[in-house]
Amino acid sequence: MQGKSILPIRAVIGETVFDFWSGPTAYFDIVNTLRVKLYSGELTSLDENTILSGRANAIAIRNGDGDWEVLQFCTATLVDTGIYDLTKLLR
């Protein structure tokens, strides 16, 4: 099949543990925490410059308002097996 591409990375899939509501956009949200439970894979914390490059820690989420949001996170804290608190969100 022509045009077929295989990406060298695997997707990480999970779900939110608590409702996550719309929030501030276009700057780092240092107030809200997004808790996620992963089905597989792991998450890593990264510095602001890496996040601002747009190349890492991007997730798509349907928030509590029913809207889809793409955001990035700097800090991923493992709080239980497969459960992370994501903070310092770029929304």
Domain boundaries along the sequence of the chain:
14-90
Helix (H) or strand (E) holding 77: strand 68-80
For 9-67, what is each residue's pLDDT tens digit? Answer: 778 899 999 998 888 888 899 999 999 999 999 999 999 999 999 889 999 999 888 88
d(CA 79, CA 74): 16
Mean pLDDT in residue range 73-81: 98
52: CB partners within 8 A, 6+ apart: 90
Mean pLDDT in residue range 75-83: 97
**CA proximity to 38, closest of 90, 88, 78, 87:** 78
**Residue 1: which pLDDT band, with cuts at 50, 70 and 90?**
low
Q: What is the DSSP letter of 2?
A: T
